[in-house]
Structure 1
């Protein structure tokens, strides 16, 4: 990271601005991709962001005195294979300003990762890589929301609380959102950290642009509980998530349960190996182009990283998903109605793999 520090000569208030980012690129393989003609195809491709989103950002603060600090963060995703940024937005991931106090916590307003995206990755053995806890929920847990008001409490005896509220901002339609945005959404997160273990609980509601929770993997309620156990060179991670979408059209499935268990072994200071299993069960009901029917799938993942330095590392991940008769889940977090997508035909298994490099600056 590159930092710049400025001092105002009048009030002698100290300010700092830091430029930071990371770049991720590599090669990817995926088989059994439904090709739209009743068959499947395999694919080799150069991809960016398989281990983690490439990004660039600025963050800063100013000491206001009396233990109070102003803060800001601007951050956008980057696709290094073609040089584009996140979805046509200048700052696709974060754009907020706030006030921070060690005594009272931090209050901020603007665009940010949705609360579960900000909270689930720490309990995911694959830290929300392209193959991770996001895969079998079709990316439900890695969204961003605009128009947020957000609070982060100080840590008290290992506990902290985070709350987020996203206003829809539409006249006469309190729950609805602007074009291209989610509707009114909110969540609360409680965490306990200790040297031996961590525990986190999240409850959130993510609404569609029309203000409804009408798709279990796109706009729904979520209840998440996760835990980490750290023993010597091992980290063991487990979680459970329940999704419900009460506004789903009659006859379609409106619930899902997601479980995972994984472990990372730090073989040397530079080399680590991770293995995990993820399972999803979609509740009773039919499906359509954008709603999954009653089904289930099991995803097995094995990965490794090797750090040349604290800023540069190589990674490799291989994954296999086994679907039930009606399941079309991919090893990647692809929406059911994505075009083009990566999902297999109903009932088919799928194998994917990628290798690449990440550089952090």
Structure 2
């Protein structure tokens, strides 16, 4: 009788040990606000329909509502199996974001070695997001999130674009230095370089100082888009439609306690552009000129300064200023638009997981040459019919 009891006890201990070595966490964010914008097109895709002020209940003024699963299993010797699945949804009406993809934000699996780093495979973020976004006011790692997005999210710091079919390695920190590289396959027979991509980055942390640099290149055939490649076009994942796209930038941040000051510069370019991203669609309209015209290109340079100050542990003030200058070349005419955008925020923590916020953005555009694509536009709100727009959000955000 003793041996069966010992066997049962041993099996229970083994099961407990195995359970202790594995973990799966359900997490998420719900962010819903009342938003006012002073000049919004009555039809997002048709500027000639006129404009008016707009009040709306809105999901994701700071962070897009999401839920996900992340997990790890200890394989021994400092090695773990890891995964993450993340869905984006609209908290106003319950629908999926990301073109209806179930796990459109992230879907990957990999191996993590504590001494060396993490290798992951799937749909995931490039190193503009991984290393530069934490130094910015915008994006999932920025305190101001979506409303502080650079025009059209042209540099992907707001993380509106993910790379499918990707293999990514991010190193562990070595004397404060982290490096990373990734490659995303086109998955197309006979089209190895038609919508493949690669990215690399480096970050350095020393006490209160954080520095980072990153690069991303997406290779595309503008005359033969590959919707299932590294950059999918069927779910609004592409920031521009067109040919070869490059992004790179550098950033710095200084922390004093929980407060911070940051500086960033990013540069992006797209050859033969035909449309710009605006809310996962071409709501600002396609770019003018012949489609894929010879020599057509658009490029952006973004300069950002941001700061956040904690008046009290539960009350913070934040602000950012972004100057963006662009050059658009077309066979039917050129334009040199430039944006001035100011953001201000007050955030109050009701608890560690719940806060209320007030955030406002003012954007002014010049040099658009009357092209509706270059009208003022803040995040995914209906763009303006002119060169100015103001948006104010008061909202509630809960983390779980």
Q: State whether TM-score is above 0.5.
A: yes
Which structure's CA Rg is the greater one? Answer: 2
Residues 217 and 15 of structure 1, relative CA distance in 2, 3 Å threshold = same
Tell me if the contact between 1:68 and 1:101 (Cα under 8 Å) persists in the aligned partners. yes
Gaps of 5+ in 1: 1-5, 177-182, 335-340
Residues 1:157 and 2:203 are matched in the alignment: no
Contact in 2 for aligned 1:136/1:330 (Cα 8 Å): no
What residue number does 1:69 align with? 80
Structure 2: 5+ residue runs without aligned partners?
1-11, 232-237, 274-292
The alignment partner of 2:134 has SS state of: helix
Pick from 375, 384, 389 the counterpart of residue 344 of structure 1: 384
1:140-179 equivalent positions in 2, closer than 5 A: 140-141=156-157, 142=159, 143-176=161-194
1: CA distance, partners of 2:330 / 2:153? 17
Q: Give the direction of change, closer, same or farther, for the CA distance of 1:184–1:12 in structure 2 (3 Å limit).
A: same
Q: Give the superposition deviation at 1:193.
A: 1.4
Q: How many residues align?
A: 340
Report the CA distance between 1:40 and its aligned residue: 2.1
Distance in 1 between the 2:384 and 2:330 partners? 18
State the distance in 1 between where 2:13 and 2:196 align: 40
Structure 2 vs 1, CA of residues 93 and 111 (structure 1 numbering), >3 Å: closer, same or farther? Answer: same
1:41 aligns with 2:80: no
Contact conserved, 1:257 with 1:282, CA < 8 A, in 2?
Answer: yes
How far off its partner does 1:216 sit? 8.4
Deviations 1:146-200 (A, max 9, x none): 1110101010000001222111100011122xxxxxx212111100112221001
1:129 corresponds, among 141, 145, 170, to: 145
* Equivalence for 2:266: 241
1:360 correspondence with 2:399: yes
Q: Pairwise CA RMSD of aligned residues?
A: 2.8
* 8 Å Cα contact 1:136-1:278 kept in structure 2: no
Q: 1:25 maps to what in 2?
A: 32
2:309 is aligned with 1:265: yes
Residue of structure 2 aligned with 1:80, choices 91, 97, 100 = 91
TM-score (structure 2 length as normaliser) = 0.78
- Distance in 1 (CA, whole Å) between partners of 2:345 and 2:123 is 32
Partner of residue 296, structure 1: 338
Offset of 1:18 from its aligned partner? 0.9
Equivalent residue runs for 1:51-66 within 5 Å: 51-66=62-77
Hey, what's the Cα distance between the residues in 1 that align with 2:79 and 2:295?
53
- Between the aligned partners of 1:284 and 1:58, the Cα distance in structure 2 is 42
**Greater alpha carbon shift after TM alignment, 27-36 vs 135-144:** 135-144
Measured after TM superposition, the shift of residue 15 of structure 1 is 1.2
Indicate if the aligned counterparts of 2:302 and 2:324 stay in contact, CA closer than 8 A: yes
* Secondary structure class of the residue paired with 1:117: helix
Trace 1:301-316 onto structure 2 (pairs within 5 A). 301-316=343-358
**Any conservation in 2 of the 1:189–1:201 contact (CA below 8 Å)?**
yes
Q: CA deviation at 1:89?
A: 1.2
CA distance in 2, matches of 1:113, 1:49: 19
CA deviations over 1:1-52 (Å, ceiling 9, x no partner): xxxxx98649947211111111111111112223432632221110111110
Structure 2 matches for 1:188-337, cutoff 5 A? 188-208=200-220, 209-210=225-226, 217=240, 220-231=245-256, 234-248=259-273, 249-250=293-294, 252-283=296-327, 285-286=329-330, 293-326=335-368, 328-334=374-380
Change (3 A) 1:272 1:305: same
- From the superposition, tell whether residues 236 and 292 of structure 1 become closer, same or farther in structure 2 (CA, over 3 Å): farther
CA contact (8 A) 1:25 1:358 kept: yes
